[in-house]
Amino acid sequence: MGKFIFSAWRGIEMDRTWDTLAQDFYDLGLTLPFTPIFKEGSDYAKMIKLLDDFAALGMKVIMCDDRVTARREPVLDEEDYRARFARSLEEFGNHPAVAGFDVGDEPDAPEASTFFAVARIQREMAPHLMPYLNLLPWFDWIGERIGSPDYRSYLDRAVREGNLAILSYDCYSQMWEGDSGWDVYFNNLRELGLAARRHSLPFCNIVLTTGHYDYACPTREDMRWQLSTSAALGAKMISYFQVAGWERENYRNFPINAFNERTVEYEWLACETRLLQKRMGDVMPDLEFYKAGFTTYAYGGFEIFKPDDTLLSASNAKDINMLISTFVDEDGIRYRAVVNLDRTRNVEARLHFAPSVAVERRTFYDSWEGSSGNTDIIGILGDDGSSVRMWMAAGQLELLREIPVENI
């Protein structure tokens, strides 16, 4: 895969677009955004111009054509849908910017079969493109709504009946007050990761960038925290809800406001997106997730961190909760992702590694940093192994690599 995929959820109408939309998305760090919503009667030349703008920037997009997005109906007329999708493919499917088509969002039980059939037909008729279906997250009360007693069977059914190329869902409970929604958030990440590995698919976590309803407006630290936890738990794609604003209930503090202006939230999100891509994008998307644990309190069905044969301990002086996850590459080399889970406080993470491995830290400069005379991050303890002490901002992610000393 080579890079993280960054997206922005759909919602912009064609009559709401602006001249610098593609450039604004590019500067935000997006690589696969959704297009504005094209409807019957929309300006075709205007959409083609926008697709050309994306292509000129080297970007791919998910095409939002309302004429072929799944409708909330219990039975799909497949012959009619194939005709409609063939028309859309002829108009947009061969454009160099188009990587796939939007299938739809959060089907309830009555229309789930229709949504899955649309995904299946899209992939059958255009195997070179990605049908993109977004699924509901799991809550304790949602089984009846999605027609499944548990999340696993719901996700497996979606993959099986929809022949999905990627698993996607959205969850914003992490932006409820305090940590009251963290169990829901981390449980969904855990379940999506398990399903992705069962079916050998990537998964996308759609996170919150705009406050609304009972969800708080994310700070820069909240944005960083959502990116870090998504990457540390195996997401290959991260999408944002929402990027561009409109006047609706209590939606506010969009990265791009209702006047199509970049806001301070835009600068925060652009910086955090590009930092993650710059430091980790050439490494983490190609790693295989293995396990994860929390150092003080385990959320969402995960376990408390347990030492293993090479990572002997993980702690900090403030007893702040940290997420420690383990990845492996194709050569069996282990990587440790460390996230400061506090969203307001800095922490000095302290990790102790066995003498059987040499430890390196991923830097901003597309390189790995080991122990040297001018760094106090990684210290060599002789027969006791290595000590890693690194200051981490609220929500910050660090990536460490373990090189077996026998390979050096």
- Using alpha carbons, select from 67, 69, 12, 22 the residue that is nearest to residue 49: 22
Please give the pLDDT value at position 406. 87
**DSSP β-ladder status, 386-392 and 378-380:** antiparallel
* pLDDT lower than 70: segments of the chain: 1-2, 371-376, 378, 380-383
Please give the pLDDT value at position 373. 41
**DSSP β-ladder status, 378-380 and 368-369:** unpaired
Task: State whether CATH 3.20.20.80 applies to domain 5-286.
Answer: yes
pTM for this predicted structure: 0.96
- pLDDT tens digits for 255-285? 999 999 999 999 999 999 999 999 999 999 9
| Cβ atoms of residues 140 and 173 within 8 Å | no
- Residue 276 token pair: 């993650």
| Cβ atoms of residues 260 and 18 within 8 Å | yes
- pLDDT tens digits for 4-36? 999 999 999 999 999 999 999 999 999 999 999
Please give the pLDDT value at position 374. 44
Cβ neighbors of 156 (< 8 A, separation 6 or more) are 195, 198, 199
Please give the pLDDT value at position 378. 65
CATH 3.20.20.80 in the chain: give the residue spans.
5-286
- Using alpha carbons, select from 237, 254, 234, 113 the residue that is nearest to residue 170: 237
Please give the pLDDT value at position 376. 55
CATH 2.60.40 in the chain: give the residue spans.
288-407
Q: What fold characterizes domain 288-407?
A: Immunoglobulin-like (2.60.40)
